[in-house]
Amino acid sequence: MDKKTDLLQGTLDLLILRTIALQPMHGWAISQRIQQISKDVLQVQQGSLYPALHRLEHKGLIRAEWGPSENNRRAKFYSLTKTGRKQLEEERASWERLAAAVTQVLEMA
């Protein structure tokens, strides 16, 4: 199946928080990592990614710092705040409950 999947806003926020949980990353790297981990099923367009990053930063869930990228260009690197880590765990638990419920409905006889 070669069809790409669109992401709901809340899902995108969760994926971004999870992606930067291990290490700070710049926007393009976040997008590439999500695409790589999902085996090209999920693609995050810049028009969705950067507004989400700004929204998460505004909420205090992530912070941004300027630094050099892999190709020595100046880039904003995003990392989780303490509040962001807590939010990630809450959203992850909520997502797991939702996914389990949807699975139950899909598997009903």
Place of tokens 């926020």: 13
| pLDDT reported for residue 1 | 37
Domains of the chain, by residue range, sit at: 9-106
Summarised one tens digit per residue, pLDDT across range 45-93 is 999 999 999 999 999 999 999 999 888 999 999 999 999 999 999 999 9
Average pLDDT over residues 24-41: 96
Q: For 1-32, what is each residue's pLDDT tens digit?
A: 344 455 565 799 999 999 999 999 999 999 99
> For position 9, what pLDDT does the model report?
58
- Please, are residues 26 and 69 in contact by the beta-carbon 8 Å criterion? yes
Considering the four listed CATH numbers 3.40.1380.20, 1.10.10.10, 3.90.1150.10, 1.10.10.60, the one that applies to the domain covering 9-106 is 1.10.10.10
pLDDT at 70: 87
SS3 86: helix
pTM, two decimals, is 0.87
- Burial profile 23-48: b = 16 or more Cβ within 10 angstroms, e = fewer: ebbbbebbbebbeeeeeeebebeeee
Is the C-alpha dihedral spanning 94, 98, 103, 104 positive or negative?
positive
